[in-house]
Amino acid sequence: MNNAVILDAKAWERITKEAPKLQVLTTAVMCDKFKVNGAIARRSLRELLSKNLIKQVGDHHASFTLYTGAQAKAAAAEAAAAAKK
């Protein structure tokens, strides 16, 4: 695989624009979709989480963490249902 090992400004902009719209985010999804290596994918996920662009689903595990985009359709539907209650 020819995944990037250095993240440039253009790639970071693409990640911050598209990742919050994805319903399922994992390290593997980030590697496949954005063509970055695992270390960059994990760091990007942590950075997006700190900026509240994505949300963690469930408990954190040492080798696997599942995220969802804050702007994903399923997340928006959940927020609307919670607001009605």
Cα 66 to Cα 16, 22, 80: the distances in Å are 17, 12, 22
Residues 6+ apart with CB under 8 A from 26: 64, 65, 66, 67
Task: Give me the mean pLDDT over the 72-79 stretch.
Answer: 69
Nearest to 73 by CA among 20, 9, 14: 20
**Residue 75 pLDDT grade (very low, low, confident, very high; cuts 50, 70, 90):** low
Q: What is the pLDDT of residues 14-62, one digit of tens each?
A: 999 999 999 999 999 999 999 999 999 999 999 999 999 999 988 877 7
**Residue 83 pLDDT grade (very low, low, confident, very high; cuts 50, 70, 90):** confident
pTM beyond 0.85, yes or no: no
As a whole number of Å, the CA-based R_g of the chain is 13
Domain 9-84 sits in CATH 3.40.50.300: no
In single-letter form, the type of residue at position 58 comes to G
